[in-house]
């Protein structure tokens, strides 16, 4: 099984995908005149606008749902892995992909709003919907829906639950069997309540867990404030192969930084627009801006918090392509959460394992909620018949819970590799789609900014914006 997954990873996560992610982000950034900088004030303003309705979520709830998907094990374990395999320079490339990725995130979220539908009284949307309606290529839309169900429903949950099981066992000696049962029971209570219950949990849990994590990171960084300038210098030197001991892994720094950055912030992957489609807004670009900001929250805030804790306290090892240690500050330490745990222990001895375990539990659990919703939304796309859809939904819920439980007992390495296959497959399909649909994104942005310049609260009229296929908005 491991060899098959490794083979698929080598194909899907080739340098072609890394290049496509960077080029797509650069394309949307240049074409929109770097809206991720120009519109940053509007991003924050629209984050708290709009109210929840019977059909959809508020802007903040949709933001929280997307962030719950973005902020997961990648923010702790993934950052540590990127540093171990690519050196400190990988952090710079994570920052860069987040900046450029904000452009891609705006595009995919805006498209999700433009082409969303109301199904059984709830807003549904995402790549499958905008591929079919915008591009008119149904087989390609079905391919994305199946890939999402495969990735979010079958592959990615194992990564999150495996991290929970391992962290709880290492910190508290809890058998993964019991942590798996507890997680599944709590998940079942929430996901059987539908998108509104998921949204309510996300809007409460996400701000608390992110703020708490960053607060602890700031304490660690503050205690080592004199090391901050040198740490940033190391990051930038390593990013361009200027660090003598790490010059030979420049390519690895770029690849691992981009790879882990995409895995963490999901920009261009196609999952976040599924959450974006649920928002109750009066112009698609508003939710596009909100989702662009969520990329910053994930990478520039949470991932950076992890990276600085690890680097400032020298709580890491770095390995070459042959597996030999290039830098070894923690002999024998397993790559991953142990890096962050040691960083916290340098200031608060004995607290590191408990902190990491609780952080992973919260991050991974909310991500599992998002993964389930992404799976269900694409299931709704595939099954048009109400009775068939309801039966399929019940089957997928049970399967999702079973695989989540199974993930707590699997090897971490295989779980990560399986997750990478899912992320890469979805990214390929979605990035090509949003590039092909980019003229629609630009027309929508032009309509939004023309009203914005007149001092108006932008509202969307698909005829005026020259997007006639946006049938949802013709009410």
pLDDT digits (tens, 9 = 90+) for 77-124: 788 888 888 888 888 988 988 898 899 999 999 999 999 888 878 888
pTM of the model: 0.87
**Residue 139 pLDDT:** 93
Residue among 43, 434, 47, 414 nearest 269 (CA): 434
User: Position of tokens 């660090």?
Assistant: 243
User: Position of tokens 């608390």?
Assistant: 208
Residue among 236, 212, 224, 196 nearest 346 (CA): 224
Residue 76 in tokens: 């702790």
pLDDT in tens, 276-328: 888 888 899 999 999 999 888 888 888 888 899 899 988 888 777 667 667 77
Instruction: Answer for the pair 341, 355: CB distance below 8 angstroms, yes or no.
Output: yes
CA–CA separation, 76 and 344 (whole Å): 12
DSSP conformation class of 427: H
Residue among 389, 395, 392, 214 nearest 307 (CA): 214
Confidence of residue 195 (pLDDT cuts 50, 70, 90): low
CA–CA separation, 387 and 392 (whole Å): 9
Domain 2-447, what fold? Answer: Amino acid/polyamine transporter I (1.20.1740)
pLDDT in tens, 247-281: 556 677 777 787 777 766 677 788 889 988 888 88
Residue 72 in tokens: 């997961």
Q: Give percent above pLDDT 90 in the chain.
A: 17
Instruction: Answer for the pair 431, 24: CB distance below 8 angstroms, yes or no.
Output: yes
Query: CA–CA distance from 171 to each of 176, 287, 408, 415, 475 (Å)?
Result: 12, 39, 15, 20, 54
Angle, CA 372 vertex, CA 205 and CA 184 arms, to 5°: 75
Residue 98 in tokens: 């987040």
**Residue 156 pLDDT:** 79
Helix, strand and coil content of the chain, in percent to the nearest 5, comes to 75, 5, 20
Cβ neighbours of residue 274 closer than 8 Å, sequence gap 6 or more: 112, 125, 126, 127, 148, 373, 374, 377, 378
- Per the DSSP assignment, residues forming a β-bridge with 122 are 119
Instruction: Answer for the pair 117, 124: CB distance below 8 angstroms, yes or no.
Output: yes
pLDDT in tens, 363-421: 888 888 888 888 988 988 988 777 777 888 888 888 888 888 888 877 656 666 766 77
CA–CA separation, 135 and 126 (whole Å): 13
Q: Which sign, positive or negative, has the C-alpha torsion 426, 431, 433, 437? A: positive
Least confident range from 96-110, 133-147, 336-350: namely 336-350
DSSP conformation class of 155: I
Confidence of residue 435 (pLDDT cuts 50, 70, 90): very high
**Residue 416 pLDDT:** 64
Question: Mean pLDDT over all residues of the chain?
Answer: 83
Angle, CA 28 vertex, CA 236 and CA 129 arms, to 5°: 125
Instruction: Answer for the pair 291, 269: CB distance below 8 angstroms, yes or no.
Output: no
Confidence of residue 141 (pLDDT cuts 50, 70, 90): very high
Instruction: Answer for the pair 109, 35: CB distance below 8 angstroms, yes or no.
Output: no
Q: Which sign, positive or negative, has the C-alpha torsion 292, 76, 193, 377? A: positive
CA–CA separation, 424 and 18 (whole Å): 10
């Amino acid at each position: 099984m491991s060899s098959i997954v490794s083979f698929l990873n080598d194909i899907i996560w080739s340098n072609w995908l890394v290049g496509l992610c960077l080029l797509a982000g650069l394309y949307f950034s240049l074409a929109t005149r770097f809206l991720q900088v120009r519109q940053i004030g509007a991003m924050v303003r629209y984050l708290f606008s709009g109210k929840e309705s019977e059909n959809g979520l508020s802007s903040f709830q949709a933001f929280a749902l997307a962030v719950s998907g973005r902020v997961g094990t990648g923010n702790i374990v993934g950052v540590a892995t990127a540093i171990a395999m690519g050196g400190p320079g990988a952090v710079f490339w994570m920052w860069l992909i987040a900046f450029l990725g904000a452009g891609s995130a705006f595009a995919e979220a805006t498209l999700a709003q433009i082409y969303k539908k109301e199904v059984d009284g709830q807003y549904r949307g995402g790549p499958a919907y905008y591929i079919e309606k915008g591009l008119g290529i149904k087989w390609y839309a079905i391919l994305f829906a199946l890939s999402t169900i495969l990735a979010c429903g079958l592959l990615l949950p194992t990564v999150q639950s495996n991290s929970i099981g391992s962290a709880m066992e290492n910190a508290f000696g809890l058998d993964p069997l019991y942590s798996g049962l507890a997680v599944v029971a709590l998940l079942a209570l929430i996901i059987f309540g539908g998108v509104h219950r998921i949204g309510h949990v996300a809007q409460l849990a996400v701000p608390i867990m992110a703020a708490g994590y960053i607060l602890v990171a700031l304490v660690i960084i503050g205690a080592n404030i004199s090391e901050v300038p040198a740490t940033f210098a190391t990051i930038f030197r390593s990013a361009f192969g200027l660090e003598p001991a790490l010059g030979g892994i420049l390519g690895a720094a770029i690849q691992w930084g981009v790879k882990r950055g995409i895995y963490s912030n999901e920009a261009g992957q196609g999952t976040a627009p599924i959450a974006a489609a649920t928002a109750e807004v009066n112009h698609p670009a508003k939710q596009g801006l909100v989702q662009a900001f969520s990329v910053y929250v994930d990478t520039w805030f949470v991932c950076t918090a992890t990276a600085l804790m690890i680097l400032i306290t020298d709580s890491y090892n770095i390995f070459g392509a042959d597996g030999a240690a290039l830098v070894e500050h923690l002999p024998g330490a397993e790559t991953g959460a142990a890096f962050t745990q040691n960083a916290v222990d340098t200031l608060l001895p004995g607290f590191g394992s408990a902190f990491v375990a609780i952080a992973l539990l919260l991050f991974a659990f909310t991500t599992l909620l998002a993964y389930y919703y992404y799976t269900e939304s694409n299931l709704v796309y595939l099954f048009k018949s109400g009775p068939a859809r309801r039966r399929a939904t019940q089957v997928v819920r049970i399967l999702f819970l079973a695989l989540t439980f199974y993930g707590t007992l699997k090897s971490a390495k295989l779980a990560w590799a399986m997750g990478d296959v899912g992320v890469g497959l979805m990214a390929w399909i979605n990035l090509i789609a949003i590039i092909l649909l980019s003229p629609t994104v630009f027309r929508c942005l032009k309509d939004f900014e023309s009203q914005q310049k007149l001092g108006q609260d932008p509202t969307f009229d698909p005829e005026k914006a020259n997007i006639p296929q946006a049938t949802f908005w013709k009410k």
